Chain A
């Protein structure tokens, strides 16, 4: 068993002997062995060395030819892979993006809203399906009655609310329902006046009237319309074609109770007047006559008031109110100008593409990172296994 000192000394003696340096006499045989071993090394055949020199000088051309004899795979470089990946990415994005260059898409509303907007607008208006989708209803309808209140997309025009003629649950005959709607329309600035005129014309055509209207030329407009209740859906449908629908809200309020109440008070007043008239006929003194006449005047006044109330209530049921807000839409102007794709649209599209690209890259990274890690581990394991197999070959010799 050699001590560490002996080992170090003998190793040094081997190196010294190989280097031609003198070695301690007691290690002479070791030095002789080292030199003898060095002298025993096999020298390559000169013909082989000439051939190898030539191959080296020519950059191992035979190996290159051998590779060409096999399947000729295209040489794929990293930049080429990058370009290919980018092209695939862009194609993928182009396929997934909505068609038509709609620069107003991607709003926060539900898809049904967008679809219904498309249905509400005729195909020839160039109305974009995603316009309504972009703007979610911002002011949901409210109703203080038990009747249904809807913040409905334009599709509600096709599926109208229950009609007043629907039989009531308690079987008391007709129910009176007050209906109203709000429309927010967007038109190019230069189309505002035309749209305002169209709104008035539709109202007139349907037998309605304008309660109030305010139009700022090329800027905006506000309208309060009344149309016969039975033509409300038609009116909404036609008004929706005037410009792009940004928002549409419908309300329905059951006012049967109010009608019945006013009617009952009117009937009571009439009954009282008839009674007073009978008393007047039977009156014998001047005082009695004067007193009854005074009460008759009061009752007649009440009757007139109740009649007005009843008429007002019935009008609420028979006439629907439509509040129309007309807005100037610069993007729509660009879309309707016939120019189609503008630099602004291009910027929007570019931003959108970058956004989607970043998202795709993020997802790809999230996938590639663990996969790459696994691949790296597999590669390392395979490399180690290959080396172990090599070492085993040495053991098996």
Chain B
């Protein structure tokens, strides 16, 4: 099913520097998934996601293509919004505390598959926040390494190294919880 979303411009005088509607359509669920993983709170993730898109909508004229892709720019805004939320709440984001996505679990899942998934969630939740953020940006938001680097403000090679280190830690954590 396809639907058309008509997004008004932030100001009538401004020439749009990016296609906000397309960006929103493409990145909405990715932003949510990233923020939800980082915050470990679906309700807060919804607020932050909405806030991030509103900020992006208001600031769409400030986007400069030379500084990176539209997705990297959007995830930079979402990251700041999520970190602001973390600062505001002053509490840890425990993904393990988040209720499981019941709808996403088909009834015919085998028991071992369910166990593997539970182990994976627990392992992700035990990662330090920075590594968890890398996992979220890469696997939940679907950013490539260049976008990852732009969001985190590091070089592409450094982003690759950090990501690799996070995956290694995750594998180790999975083994420990298996």
Listed in ascending order, the chain A residues whose CB lies under 8 Å from chain B are 2, 7-8, 10-11, 14-15, 18, 30, 33-34, 36-38, 40-45, 48-49, 51-53, 55-60, 63, 387, 389-391, 393-397
Proximity bits, B60-89, A CB within 8 Å = 1, else 0: 000000000000000000001001101100
Interface contacts beyond A37-B120, A48-B49: sample of 5 additional A-B pairs, CB < 8 Å, sorted by A: A11-B145, A30-B171, A56-B7, A60-B58, A393-B83
A37 near B139: Cβ-Cβ < 8 Å: yes
Tell me the bound Cα distance from A15 to B135 in angstroms: 13
Name the A residues within 8 Å of B86 (CB-CB): 393-394, 396-397
CB distance from A80 to the nearest CB of B (A): 15
Proximity bits, B93-111, A CB within 8 Å = 1, else 0: 1000010010010000000
A-B pairs with beta carbons under 8 Å apart, 20 shown:
A10-B167, A11-B160, A30-B171, A37-B135, A38-B142, A42-B36, A42-B42, A42-B101, A43-B29, A44-B28, A44-B45, A45-B46, A49-B29, A52-B49, A55-B50, A390-B83, A394-B83, A394-B130, A394-B133, A397-B93
Tell me the bound Cα distance from A144 to B51 in angstroms: 92
Tell me the bound Cα distance from A390 to B32 in angstroms: 19
B36 near A389: Cβ-Cβ < 8 Å: no
A44 near B29: Cβ-Cβ < 8 Å: yes
Tell me the bound Cα distance from A396 to B92 in angstroms: 8
- Indicate which residue in B24, B58, B163 contacts A11 across the interface (CB closer than 8 Å): B163
- In chain B, what residue has the closest Cβ to A37? B139
Name the A residues within 8 Å of B177 (CB-CB): none
Listed in ascending order, the chain B residues whose CB lies under 8 Å from chain A are 5-8, 10, 21, 24, 28-29, 32-33, 36-37, 42, 45-46, 49-50, 53-54, 57-58, 80, 83-84, 86-87, 90, 92-93, 98, 101, 104, 116-117, 120-121, 124, 129-130, 133, 135, 138-140, 142, 144-145, 160-161, 163-164, 167-168, 170-171, 174
- Indicate which residue in B7, B29, B33 contacts A57 across the interface (CB closer than 8 Å): B7
A43 near B101: Cβ-Cβ < 8 Å: yes
Tell me the bound Cα distance from A285 to B36 in angstroms: 154
A60 near B54: Cβ-Cβ < 8 Å: yes
A53 near B83: Cβ-Cβ < 8 Å: no
CB distance from A384 to the nearest CB of B (A): 11
Number of A-B contacts (CB under 8 A): 129
CB distance from B104 to the nearest CB of A (A): 7
- Indicate which residue in B29, B83, B84, B171 contacts A33 across the interface (CB closer than 8 Å): B171
- In chain A, what residue has the closest Cβ to B24? A56
Tell me the bound Cα distance from A51 to B53 in angstroms: 13
Name the B residues within 8 Å of A37 (CB-CB): 120, 124, 135, 139-140, 170
B142 near A18: Cβ-Cβ < 8 Å: yes
Tell me the bound Cα distance from A48 to B36 in angstroms: 13
Tell me the bound Cα distance from A77 to B61 in angstroms: 16
Name the B residues within 8 Å of A393 (CB-CB): 83-84, 86-87
A44 near B7: Cβ-Cβ < 8 Å: no
- Indicate which residue in A15, A34, A53 contacts B5 across the interface (CB closer than 8 Å): A53
B33 near A42: Cβ-Cβ < 8 Å: yes
CB distance from B130 to the nearest CB of A (A): 6
- In chain B, what residue has the closest Cβ to A2? B164
Known A-B contacts A14-B167, A18-B139, A394-B86; A40 and B5 likewise in contact (beta carbons under 8 Å): no
B120 near A40: Cβ-Cβ < 8 Å: yes
Known A-B contacts A18-B142, A49-B28, A390-B84; A40 and B10 likewise in contact (beta carbons under 8 Å): no
CB distance from B138 to the nearest CB of A (A): 8
Name the B residues within 8 Å of A390 (CB-CB): 80, 83-84, 87
- In chain A, what residue has the closest Cβ to B79? A390
Most chain A beta-carbon neighbours within 10 Å: one of B50, B139, B161: B139
- Indicate which residue in A36, A49, A60, A394 contacts B129 across the interface (CB closer than 8 Å): A394
A58 near B133: Cβ-Cβ < 8 Å: no
Tell me the bound Cα distance from A284 to B177 in angstroms: 168
